[in-house]
Structure formats: C-alpha cells, structure tokens
Chains A and B, each alone.
Chain A
C-alpha cells in the first residue's frame, strides 16, 4: 500500500519507538501536522519558540537515554533550531531534528521561508540529510536515528521538502541500516586495557576524571565498582555530574575553573589521571602546559578525535565508556585476585587534608539571601532525588558545587556551548518524559528571560516544574569578571526593567512566590513543593556574591582565587538590591 511522505514520516517515527515530539508547525510541514492531527500514539508538544523545542528534545534525551525528537518548519523555524543543534553537538546529545523545506523545484530560488538549513547546520550536526525523493524518506529516518544514538551521540538534522511529504511511495521500514563509512568502535583494545589496569594498580596517587561520556554510555555502575575496587577518588566534569554519586566518600565533585580546592589540588598532584568520557576542555585543564605535571594519562573515549586533541596521552583507549570500564574492572579483578587495592591511605589522607584546609563553603548572612543558600536548601529538600536543570552563569556553577547529584541523567545542563536560555525548556522536556518526578530549574534572571515564553507551554501541558530564579539583577558571571578583571566597570551587565516574576507567573496562571530575606527561603520552597503546578520562585539574592574558588582563565588549576580581594572597587558601596516598590508583593 502506498503512503504519502507525511504518513511515511509519522509511521517511521513510531517504528523508532518515538513517544514525544517537540515542535512548532508552519507552511511546508502542514501535510505532516495533518497526519499528526488526532494521532493517539504520538505526543506532540507545541512550543512557543523553536529553540526551546530543541532544548526540550535534548533534555528529554538526556533524562531518558532515548533519542529526542523535534519537528519544525522551514526558514525561520529551521534557523531557530541552530543554537540548540550547536548545544547538542557540543554536549554529545542524541537528537533528531526534522525541518520542513520548500518544494524541491523551488530549492535555491530564495523562495518564501527558504533557508539552506542543511548548509547552515553542516558544521553543527553530527550529520544531516536533505531528502529529495520520497522513496528515500524511511531509510533516511532510520539512518538519522542510528547516527544520533550510536558512537559519540549527537544531533542529526533531516530536511524534508514540502513535495516529498506530499508525494506517495510504498512504505518499507528497514530493520537495520548499514553505513559503510561509519563503524564506531565500542570495545577497547585488550592490550591497552591491560596496560591501563596495571597502571591503575601501580599508581600511588590516581584520579578518575569522568565526563558526560560515562552518562551517555550508561556506565555508572561499572564506574562505581571500579573506583571502589581500586580505591580511586573520582572527579567529574560539569557534564559528568551524576555519573558517580556525589555523596560517596570517593567523590571529589567537579574540577576545573570552579572546582573545589581539594579537587583541583588532587588533580594537580596525581600521578595517574584516568580520563573516561571527558575531553580535556579548557574550563577543566586551565593552562594546559601546567595541567597534571606529574601524571601519566589514560584516556578512554568513543571519539578517536578527542584523544590527543588537547593533551598528550600515554595510554589511549578508543571505546564506549561502559564497555571499557567493564573490561578494566574485569582485568583489575583478575590482577588483584579478588581483593581490593589497599594502601592508598596517604593519598586519601592528603586529599582529606586539602578538603579541611579549604572546604567548599559560603558565608551565610542573616539579612541577605546568599545564592548558595538557596541551592543548598533545594538540595536538602530533594536530596538528589529530583531532576535538576540549570542555565548558564554563576547559579550554574553554584548548583554544580552545592547540589550533590547521586544518579546519572538527573542533571540537565548546557556545558560546552554555555547556552543561556537552556534551563527552563530543558526542565519542561524532562518533566514531559517523567510527569511524576520532581523537576527543578535553577536559573538566573538573565538566563530565564531568554526563553520565558515557554511558561505558556508549561501551562498548556500542565508541566509542574519548579523554577528557582536566582535573581541578582545582573548577568552575574559577567559582572563577576568585570569586578575581578575590569576594575568594576559594569558595562551592560546590570539587568533593569523587571519583570515582576510573581505577577509574570500569575499572568500565565502559574504560582509566583518571592523571597527577599533568608528566613523566607524555606517557606517559599515549602509552598512551591506543596503544589502540583508550575511555580516561579523569585529569590532576590546578594547581587555581589561571587563564585569561588576560581581559576582565572588561562591559569593553572592549582592557582585558585578563593575570595574577593579586600576593597579594590568591588562595587559593594552601591545599594545591595534595587528592589522597586512596584516589584514587591502586595
């Protein structure tokens, strides 16, 4: 039986097991949306801006481990996806984005709502396709899902011209696809694994440095077993948080620019660095020539191009993090003959000493809400059992520092690209996947305003996300850098003009709450978590609180700044928070 391209498309999604599609309709995809009309099996989430659809699909993928899907129209619909595509590409997130395109006879004619999205997205997708013939559509969808989820995951874009969705063809959905030029390596080289296991046993001061790759590969169990067997402390990248329980005695939390003193010192002094699913990003290594000066490096990554990209590696292992960690575990067990690797007491004691020297902490204040306090309270309330999304900036780093993630896939965050505006739609995407789990979006007033139109989506689909706005009236991280490196000249970082977040929430029919003093924080959270509804919490925090420790850009990671320099034009003479009368609750 012949089906139209639109029907083939929808049928193909179902064969891939797709449950939820995020998107927004338009002229050239009307035929597809007509097929979706009244379809009971596919859950379509209508967003208010296409960028948000991509972030929702990303978060859906991150939280569930399945491929996230978005469907948008041509031209502006397609170009609005670009930030999301770059974001997914940087963070290795498996999504497939379908864009409508003008009819093939109009391609290249500057037709209405035509954009060369295949050309535009070439450098920011893992791969992309333009479907020129309806008979290729089913196979292309299959290939797109296969490419997105396999190897190093990433975004794939499929551009479907209008006439292709209108034309008809026999529907054959392939069981599997073979792409001759694409054969990702999953199992690590046995000989290299043996070398690595021996090095891990031999090392006196080893550190496991794990990233998002472990979460993508679902390798957390193997990681935990390996770290415990060999008694190796684990530090995580921003993307890796949750791969190893943050409450575990061997957890060192996040490393790098805003890593804790003990973590960065431990990494700096280690004699063996075992990198798994992490890529030696500049925010992690600081000055690369002074990174781990005493260590041999083992690097496990599914992407060969990540290995030796930034740093010399002694034992490279190309492979899937889960598979390689499993093999390392087997190898280490064999070498140890059923015992644990003991004798790391001096190293663990040294790390404990660094921890007690300068613990990760903040100074609470009786009058002003400290942003870290809000995050601490959210952690105490949810105990790592919520899905947390964040945006980008100070609040993101504070969340990474003070929220202890204990499960993988509970931390949604824009790491590589640093996309402000990611957090709120991400929380919605995850909530759609897990309607009954608590989902909290920790965001800033700057970031939240970059995608706040999605409040309507949250209300329309009854997504009871708790949004905690760490409102400091500034682009806080920009302001912090201006304070530290530009003599407090706060150029364009002050955010004026509102809105009143409580009224904003109410305008959408959501719950709006505000805390201006520390004692109100608990009450606000209590109230927010008591209702099953979208809640916007406006936490008016100390606008001049800075995120420490901090490794200045380009510095070595053992040279951290721990606190504000005394005086020196830090702007503290200014009023703390310019709350206008009209902004206060009635």
Chain B
C-alpha cells in the first residue's frame, strides 16, 4: 500500500543523506521525496512517499525514528490529509495541436507559465492522481521535458487527527 510519511528533522547537513541512506540500505522504496524549511528555522520537513505492507511500514517508521536527527515521524496515510504535487511540463506545440493543448489545460485547471514558438511550459498542481492523469492526456501530444516536485502533504485538522489517535488507541486496548 502507498504511504506518505512526514518527517520533521533537524536542519543540519547530512540529514537527508541519513534518511535516503536508510531507505537504500534496507531496500525500501522511495516513490517521491521533497524537502523544505519549516516555520522554525532549526527544523526541516521531509515528505516521502513509499510503498509496503504494514510490517514494512512499521519497520520504516521505527528505523526513521531511530535516526538521531529525526524529531518526529508521522504516517499521514493513517490520518485525514491533503496532498499536493506540482509538475512543470514542456510540450511540443505544433499549430494543429494548440487547441487540444488549451482544452486539456482548461479541463485540469493548469496554466501556461512560459511559451516559445515551438513549446508551451505548463504548470499543474493537484494530488498525485490528478497530475498523473494530466500527464497522460498530454503524452500523445509530445512531452519534451517533465519536472515533478514530489508529493507534499499535511494532516487536515489537528483536533480531528488527535481524536483519530484516541480512537485507534482504544481499539488497540480492546484488541488486547
């Protein structure tokens, strides 16, 4: 199953390499990865999307927690969350295709951010599925270059998430 893991880490050099090294050393998949600063300049946030069954995810979470520079690990897929990804796509634009390109852009609410006589550069933001679908629509028209930001995600509402935690704890206790 697909999981999005949000990692709060110390903003120090080498941290990303520790995280990436852990995934490669233990053979876990990384589908996408994005890193950026947080409100607190001493911390960074890494968002990783990965795949695996429950046991693999449990190990990934535990191993990440074991890294000294990792402050907090959250598997967002266990919660309500919002995710976004941005892609920049350079497309060949032959005169006869332009109308079709515009139509697709319109449908997906993407926008053109740069144009040359032979190309358009299009920006799209949405969840990974939407970005994927948009790319698939454009593919027959000839994609020249494609850059994806990697997925970022955020839990929907703290109160709700906390309530969810409470509920889960209860189920665990009952199960025992």
Which residues from chain A sit less than 8 Å from chain B, CB to CB?
118-119, 122-123, 126-127, 130, 147, 179-182, 195, 303-305, 308-309
Contact = CB atoms under 8 A, between A and B. Distances in A.
A536 to B, nearest CB: 39
Contact of A305 (B9, B17, B66, B72): B66
B65 interface: yes
Nearest to A315: B176
B68 A179 contact: yes
A180 B10 CA distance: 9
Given A123-B25, A308-B55, A180 B66 contact: no
A305 B68 contact: no
B63 A122 contact: no
Interface string B115-146: 00000000000000000000000000000000
Give the secondary structure class of A's interface: mixed
Q: How large is the interface on B (under 10, 10 to 19, 20 to 34, 35 or more residues)?
A: 20 to 34
A309 B71 CA distance: 22
Nearest to B25: A123
Interface of B: 9-10, 13-14, 17-18, 21-22, 25, 55, 58-59, 62-63, 65-66, 68-72, 176
18 contacts: A118-B14, A119-B14, A122-B18, A122-B21, A123-B25, A127-B68, A130-B13, A179-B68, A181-B10, A181-B68, A181-B70, A181-B71, A181-B72, A195-B176, A304-B65, A305-B63, A305-B65, A309-B62
B62 A305 contact: yes
Given A181-B10, A305-B59, A126 B18 contact: no
Contacts of A195: 176
A119 B17 contact: yes
Contacts of A123: 21-22, 25
Given A147-B68, A181-B69, A182-B68, A309 B59 contact: yes
Contacts of A119: 14, 17
Given A119-B17, A130-B13, A308-B55, 9 more contacts: A123-B22, A123-B25, A126-B68, A130-B14, A182-B68, A305-B63, A308-B59, A309-B59, A309-B62
Given A303-B66, A304-B62, A308-B55, A122 B71 contact: no
Task: Pick the most buried of A123, A126, A181, A309: most chain B CB atoms within 10 A of its CB.
Answer: A181
A118 B12 CA distance: 13
A122 B59 contact: no
A122 B17 contact: yes
Nearest to A126: B68
A119 B65 CA distance: 20
User: 3 closest Cβ contacts across the A-B interface?
Assistant: A305-B62, A181-B71, A127-B68
Contacts of A126: 68
Contacts of B72: 181
A119 B18 CA distance: 9
A113 B16 CA distance: 26
Nearest to B71: A181
A120 B69 CA distance: 17
A127 B12 CA distance: 13
A180 B68 CA distance: 9
Contacts of B59: 305, 308-309
A308 B65 CA distance: 15
Contacts of B55: 308
A303 B22 CA distance: 16
Nearest to A309: B59
Nearest to B9: A181
A122 B14 contact: yes
A48 B13 CA distance: 34
Nearest to B72: A181
A179 to B, nearest CB: 7
Contacts of B14: 118-119, 122, 130
A202 to B, nearest CB: 16
